[in-house]
Structure 1
Amino acid sequence: MLRILSLLRRPFVLDLRALALLRAAVAAVLLLDIGIRATDLEAHYSNLGVLPLGALYEHGWNQYSFSLHNSSGLWQVQAILFLIAAGLAVALLVGYHTRLVTALSWILLVSVQNRNPLISQGGDDLLRMLLFWGFFLPWGRVYSVDSKKQPKPEQLTYFSAATIAYIVQLALVYWCTALLKSSPEWSQEGTALYYALSLDQVLMPGGRLLYPHPDLMRWLTFATYYMEMLLPFVLFIPFRVTFWRLLFVIVMLGFHLGISLTLFVGLFFIINIASIMGLLPPTTMAWLERHIVPRAQRLGSQVEGRLQPWRPRLTAWQQAVGLRVEASWKPPTGIQGLLRSMRDGLVVGLLAYVCWWNLDTIAEPRWTMREPLRWLGHLVRIDQHWGMFAPSVFKDDGWYILDGTTTSGQHLDLNRDGAVVTYEKPASVVSLFKNDRWRKYSENYLFVDNAYMRPYYCNYLLRIWHETPGHAPLRQLDVIYMKEVSRPNYQPVQPVREVLCSCAP
């Protein structure tokens, strides 16, 4: 029996060094995400932007959600919260009071995601879940400031309910993505990638190279579908674990790099690459340890030196509120075992809930999770949906023209820095978006269910235009969408002009 149990646990044993690398990767992504979001503090997170708090509470708020960013509609308050989040991400990167900063980083990430759901994408769900499960993982045990205050671990391998949750979560991402792709274009016709690359609003240069080759796109469509469906199974094979893990990591690394070259997906591919770092086997980590870790440790020492003057204040604050961190709290062995059992029990329960939530998105009605049970998912944001290009690829494509009519009757396109309006298709539709957050917002802007948000965007654009010196005054702004519906076999499409919103000063 013991041999069977040992065999079953093999796929879920992780290297502490790989978990530390996962922590650093997640922290780096957090910093990148904060930096990108910070360029739109007023537009996306203030009452002067595209989603004032009143509109959010009226149309897009769940009663179980929470958000510190909703405490004020001022962009200055948002800036303070962003600075705090960036500081916590740096602390997570170097492993300073790791468990505490993981929890606080997760709270602020949930908070900012809840503030504006109109700019969220699938990668945000995964980043949130990596932080959530990371709280239960010892990803600050090595390669961290905290580890210098502890004896070296007796072994570099680690197994717990949290390692099971981390691996199962990764598998759920790809299994659910594949199972939700129920359209024949994925599993029978092989045209899904053709339709994806027909969307000019996400088409990257690599996609332009692939687009003229239908046979290759058909093969890649089937390869993507069956890889997402079948490859996660290798994570649960209890023999030759190193080989299967490396296979999964290499294939997924190539897959997401390929996505980044063909489709404009923002941080999605980076988050997915970061998510697999914890799977690296001991042989790989030993090589990295010899070549890369010494440099990272020198950087960590420099950061620790800068944080040293603040240590007494932080310790006093922790004691005042009754907090303890992993590096300084060592309960007796008996209590420690009891606490670990309680923690593992909590993780198993949360993992079962997450699996049920995912089953509810893909299975028959008999699996339906009733509404009274959904409050937990919304409260701690372990709700998730992995419907990337599912059940079929979005067919409505096009580009925006922000047609501003001046007081003299001239028509200027605010989407092209005030150039004269033209209805010719831009050479690159992707270049019209400042970042992927705006691209996602423009996608949601099209849906009839989101019609309430249209006047806010229109009036925001008017205000920004008039606040810039030298701009001609406008008497009206029309948000126009030049709609193209993708058709099969490269059939030509005639754009249709749709006025989504009109506003005046």
Structure 2
Amino acid sequence: MTAGQADTANETPPTPARAAAHSLRSAVRARLGIDLRALAAFRIALGAIVLADLLLIRLPGLRTFYTDQGTLPRDALAQSFPTFEALSLHALSGSLWVQGLLIGIAAVAAGCLLVGYRTRLATAISAVLLASVFARNPYVLNGGDTIMLSVLLLGLFLPLGARWSVDACRRGDRQTEPESSRICTVATAVILVHFVGIYAVNGILKFRSEAWMTGTAVQRIFHLEQYVVLLGPFLTDFSALLTAANWAWVALLTVSPLLLLTTGRLRLALAGAFIGAQLGLGVTMRLGAFPFVMVAILLLYLPPDVWDRFEDTLEAHVPARYRALESTPTTAKPTIAEHVPATLRRTGRIAVAMALVCGLVAVVGWQAIALGFLETPEPVTAAIDDDIEGASWAFFAPNPPEGYWWYAWEADLESGETVGTLTDESGAIDRPPDAADRDPSVLWKRYGSELRYAPASQYEPLAAYYCEQVAADGESAESVTVYKLEQPVDADGPTGDLEHDARLEYAC
């Protein structure tokens, strides 16, 4: 008997329990694991989105929404949101140059995240500064912002820089074989479950809605002029198409748990359908970074075959010197973690895993409270009900708004004249040609949405801002009155009379 035959004879055949355990591990890995190249694509997309959000959305509104000369000075922030004021780095100063400096640092960190340079540090700085700027003005947030922040925080526990990164080049990582390119950890499971939970909660809320269940919700949404931009206005007359979109979206949300339960081509088809739907939102509605953040997260669900083909395409059509950050085999330098005792490293991993699981349980509980599945003390329930969209990411659910709104103002000048945006040239109060034009930016739209049901006192910073605007034009205003106007709509368009409400009269 040869040595090889002896080894074969001495091998212990796998027991049914071991075989079952191996099959279970393989099944879990295929569903809750993430390809390292998917993580790299996610990092690149997330870095680009954060950078665009900072430079294209936050920076143009820096003075208006983040300084003491804008619509929410720090004293007003401290009065309405004392916890946010205490935690925000941006609230340390009300000057424009400090806000610009912090945005600049955040932009550099986002750029480093994009290219994968000092990836974990860049992710941490991005998360801290993004949380800080969000806390500086809660009136200009939406559910997409909180999702972007949550995935940045989860990214701290994921190897985002393992592939296609400057870090990989600096470490000299060798090309990972396809069979070992998927990792499965508590962090990968949490981010995948967390994201599917967002869709699943939204789907449950849709089933509680008469508008969604009668197929009229999307038609109504496309008549909400403060949201609809770009290609959106051209679709309002295609009622059959919008009805089909209504049912297609409900169907997708219903089967969203299959993103976790399926593998291979079926998962690819589902992820592709969701990506198409989110891109459709991006070209028809003014929602800021939200649809693009969702697309970035959906990249994590793409199976390894997709990334194999992507790399094969790069190798076939792109010269090696131009390929994205390929690794060069060198002697890897020891990391700081390698000098930490094994017992301490193991304890740290367990602590991180427990923290991630507790965070996921908290998020699931939060959503369960918002859905009414868990009973809570009345103050907690009331707080969540006050802003269910922010609490449970319930976008246009359970029902879309029944009207679109905008704000107008009038200033009485010392000269006796009246200026402002309440009336048109004929002196009549009428709908604007396009309500979206009354909100010059995404931040203005969010600000107006959050103020809809706010008490009159919270309009004072806005009125003071208009007083300064009049003064900047060389006029002197005695008082400013802020109005909220709302046009009711249904699936067929505007209906009923235009409603206008004087929210505050403010002495300049």
Common fold: TM-score over 0.5 = yes
1:283 aligns with 2:290: no
Query: What is the aligned partner in structure 1 of residue 500 from structure 2?
Result: 497
Q: What's the TM-score once normalised by structure 1's chain length? A: 0.83
Q: What secondary structure, in the 3-state scheme, does the structure 2 residue paired with 1:486 have? A: strand
Offset at 1:133?
A: 0.9
Equivalence map 1:245-260=2 (5 Å): 245-260=267-282
Alpha carbons of 1:131 and 1:220: their partners in 2 closer, same or farther (altered >3 Å)?
same
Match of 1:207 among 223, 229, 232: 232
Query: What is the aligned partner in structure 2 of residue 437 from structure 1?
Result: 443
Counterpart Cα distance in 1 of 2:46 and 2:294: 10
Match of 2:139 among 99, 118, 127: 118
Offset at 1:489?
A: 4.7
Counterpart Cα distance in 2 of 1:245 and 1:326: 38
Q: More deviation in 173-182 or 122-131? A: 173-182
Alpha carbons of 1:292 and 1:105: their partners in 2 closer, same or farther (altered >3 Å)?
farther
Equivalence map 1:337-348=2 (5 Å): 337=346, 339-348=348-357
Offset at 1:434?
A: 1.9
Query: What is the aligned partner in structure 1 of residue 51 from structure 2?
Result: 31
Offset at 1:292?
A: 5.6
Alpha carbons of 1:443 and 1:342: their partners in 2 closer, same or farther (altered >3 Å)?
closer
Counterpart Cα distance in 1 of 2:426 and 2:444: 22
Query: What is the aligned partner in structure 1 of residue 468 from structure 2?
Result: 463
**CA-to-partner distance for each residue in 1:146-175, whole Å, 9 max, x for gaps?**
112323246322111111011101101101
Offset at 1:40?
A: 1.6
Counterpart Cα distance in 1 of 2:364 and 2:74: 33
Counterpart Cα distance in 2 of 1:104 and 1:295: 34
Counterpart code for 1:265: L
Instruction: State whether residues 149 and 327 of structure 1, in contact with CA within 8 Å, keep that contact through their aligned partners in structure 2.
Output: no
1:387 aligns with 2:408: no
Offset at 1:393?
A: 1.2
Q: What secondary structure, in the 3-state scheme, does the structure 2 residue paired with 1:200 have? A: coil
Counterpart Cα distance in 2 of 1:113 and 1:420: 41
Alpha carbons of 1:264 and 1:130: their partners in 2 closer, same or farther (altered >3 Å)?
same
Q: What's the TM-score once normalised by structure 2's chain length? A: 0.83
Counterpart Cα distance in 2 of 1:64 and 1:462: 25
Alpha carbons of 1:233 and 1:112: their partners in 2 closer, same or farther (altered >3 Å)?
same
Equivalence map 1:277-356=2 (5 Å): 277-291=299-313, 329-331=337-339, 334-335=342-343, 336-337=345-346, 339-356=348-365
Query: What is the aligned partner in structure 2 of residue 97 from structure 1?
Result: 118
Q: What secondary structure, in the 3-state scheme, does the structure 2 residue paired with 1:37 have? A: helix
Counterpart code for 2:257: F
Query: What is the aligned partner in structure 2 of residue 377 from structure 1?
Result: none
Alpha carbons of 1:326 and 1:426: their partners in 2 closer, same or farther (altered >3 Å)?
farther
Query: What is the aligned partner in structure 2 of residue 451 from structure 1?
Result: 456
Count of residue correspondences: 465
1:396 aligns with 2:403: yes
1:46 aligns with 2:67: yes
Offset at 1:104?
A: 1.6
Counterpart Cα distance in 2 of 1:65 and 1:227: 41
Q: What secondary structure, in the 3-state scheme, does the structure 1 residue paired with 2:87 have? A: coil
Match of 1:77 among 98, 103, 107: 98
Q: What secondary structure, in the 3-state scheme, does the structure 2 residue paired with 1:102 have? A: helix
**CA-to-partner distance for each residue in 1:90-111, whole Å, 9 max, x for gaps?**
1111111111221121111111
Counterpart Cα distance in 1 of 2:62 and 2:212: 42
Instruction: State whether residues 404 and 486 of structure 2, in contact with CA within 8 Å, keep that contact through their aligned partners in structure 1.
Output: yes
1:483 aligns with 2:486: yes
Alpha carbons of 1:343 and 1:218: their partners in 2 closer, same or farther (altered >3 Å)?
same
Match of 1:168 among 177, 190, 193: 193
Counterpart Cα distance in 1 of 2:334 and 2:234: 51
Instruction: State whether residues 194 and 217 of structure 1, in contact with CA within 8 Å, keep that contact through their aligned partners in structure 2.
Output: yes
Match of 1:66 among 75, 79, 87: 87
**CA-to-partner distance for each residue in 1:309-342, whole Å, 9 max, x for gaps?**
xxxxxxxxxxxxxxxx996543479455554344
Q: More deviation in 346-355 or 62-71? A: 62-71
Instruction: State whether residues 410 and 480 of structure 2, in contact with CA within 8 Å, keep that contact through their aligned partners in structure 1.
Output: yes
Instruction: State whether residues 413 and 419 of structure 1, in contact with CA within 8 Å, keep that contact through their aligned partners in structure 2.
Output: no
Offset at 1:145?
A: 1.4
1:360 aligns with 2:369: yes
Counterpart Cα distance in 2 of 1:191 and 1:177: 17
**CA-to-partner distance for each residue in 1:210-235, whole Å, 9 max, x for gaps?**
323444433322222231122x2222
Unaligned stretches of 5+ residues in structure 1: 302-324, 373-382
Instruction: State whether residues 413 and 420 of structure 1, in contact with CA within 8 Å, keep that contact through their aligned partners in structure 2.
Output: no
Unaligned stretches of 5+ residues in structure 2: 1-20, 326-332, 381-389
Q: What secondary structure, in the 3-state scheme, does the structure 2 residue paired with 1:113 have? A: helix
Instruction: State whether residues 94 and 300 of structure 1, in contact with CA within 8 Å, keep that contact through their aligned partners in structure 2.
Output: no
Alpha carbons of 1:491 and 1:413: their partners in 2 closer, same or farther (altered >3 Å)?
closer
Match of 1:141 among 159, 162, 165: 162
Instruction: Please provide the CA RMSD for this pair.
Output: 3.1
Offset at 1:429?
A: 1.4
